[in-house]
Amino acid sequence: MERIDRIYDGLLVLRFRGGDHKALDILVKRHHIHLCNHAFWYVGDKDLAKDIVQDSWMKAIKKINNLKNPDKFSSWMMTIVTRKSLDVLRKVKWERSQQRENSRSGKNHDLGSKEDERPEMMTKLKKGIKELSADHQLVLRLFYIQEYTMNEIGSILEISPGAVKSRLYHAREKLKTLVKQ
């Protein structure tokens, strides 16, 4: 995100804190679609992604006075959406494991029809990414898709830039291994 955009977001946050509710409307217009896309990447369901982002906005409104650096609003919101998305994924994963334990009658592959239409390499890549840990998936997404810097990713995930580099390296190595199989 450009420095000027961060400064503008910071001013909007300060205006909202001061009681200007139109500032919140502007923040929502500036970030809502991007946040929905981010949540969708995790959960793969448009409606669920919208619910996650809606919950994230509600949390942000309640906690906006706790935001120490208003210029970091975008990273802060991404962190909230990321955490809510991961919470949903953990819940879904737990529910699926419970269903598998209950059914045990056969394997249930949840592959979308779009995968069947893609070239073999894209299919392997997508499968490989799904097999990565949530942390590795997240760091790949933020770096390659969202194009955040190492420092920004560190801020979003609340880890050091060195830890971001390490996760990115290990995610790529693991993905290479998975794709070669």
Decide if pLDDT at 91 tops 90: no
Phi, psi of 110 (to 5 degrees): -110, 50
CA distances from 13 to 53, 78, 94, 97 (A): 18, 15, 37, 41
| Res. 69 pLDDT band, cuts 50 70 90 | very high
- Are residue 62 and residue 120 in the same domain, yes or no? no
% residues pLDDT > 70 (the chain) = 84
Domain count, the chain: 2
Q: Which of 44, 79, 108 is the last residue of a domain?
A: 108
- Which has more confidence, 68 or 97? 68
In this prediction, residue 102 carries a pLDDT of 66
Q: How many CB atoms lie within 10 A of CB 59?
A: 15
Boundary-marking domain end, from 108, 134, 166: 108
Find the domain containing 70 and state its range.
1-108
Q: Which of 111, 114, 179, 170 is nearest to 140 (CA)?
A: 170
Pair 71, 154 in one domain: no
Residue 85: exposed, middle, or buried by beta-carbon count in 10 A (0-12, 13-18, 19+)?
buried
CATH number at residue 4: 1.10.1740.10
83 and 127 housed in the same domain: no
pLDDT of residue 143: 85
pTM of this prediction? 0.60
pLDDT-based confidence at residue 17 (cuts at 50, 70, 90): very high
Res. 109 pLDDT band, cuts 50 70 90: very low
* CATH number of the domain enclosing 147: 1.10.10.10
| Residue 118 reports pLDDT greater than 60 | no
